[in-house]
Amino acid sequence: MLTRIVEGVHVRTSRCLDTNSVVVDDGAAALVIDPGLTNAELIDLGVSVRARGMAVVAGFATHPDWDHALWHPSLGDVPRYSTARAAAFVDRLRDDSDWQAHLAEGLPPEIADDVPLDLFGVLIGLPPDARTVPWPGPVAHVLEHRAHAQGHAALLIQERRVLIAGDMLSDVLVPMPDFHGDRPDPLQDYLDGLELLEQTAPDVDFVVPGHGTVGDARELRARIAADRAYIEALRDGRLISDSRVTAPKPGLEWVADIHEGNIERAAQQHR
Is 158 a residue whose pLDDT tops 90? yes
Q: How far is residue 179's CA from residue 163's CA, in Å, rounded to a whole number? A: 25
Number of domains in the chain: 1
3-class state of residue 139 by DSSP: coil
pTM across the whole model: 0.96
Q: Please, are residues 62 and 153 in contact by the beta-carbon 8 Å criterion?
A: yes
Contacts of 101 (CB under 8 A, 6+ apart): none
pLDDT mean over 197-207? 98
Is 182 a residue whose pLDDT tops 90? no
Is 183 a residue whose pLDDT tops 90? no
Q: Please, are residues 224 and 215 in contact by the beta-carbon 8 Å criterion?
A: no
Can you give the residue range of the structural domain that contains 122? 3-269
Instruction: Report the CATH number that the domain containing residue 144 is assigned in CATH.
Output: 3.60.15.10
Q: How far is residue 134's CA from residue 140's CA, in Å, rounded to a whole number? A: 8
Q: Please, are residues 137 and 25 in contact by the beta-carbon 8 Å criterion?
A: yes
Q: Please, are residues 70 and 80 in contact by the beta-carbon 8 Å criterion?
A: no
- What does pLDDT average to over the chain? 96
Is 182 exposed, middle or buried, given 0-12, 13-18 or 19+ CB atoms closer than 10 A?
Answer: exposed
The β-bridge partners of 216 are 206
**In 10 A of CB 188, how many CB atoms?**
15
Q: Please, are residues 142 and 132 in contact by the beta-carbon 8 Å criterion?
A: yes
Task: Tell me what percent of the residues of the chain surpass a pLDDT of 70.
Answer: 99
Is 271 a residue whose pLDDT tops 90? no
Q: Please, are residues 261 and 268 in contact by the beta-carbon 8 Å criterion?
A: no
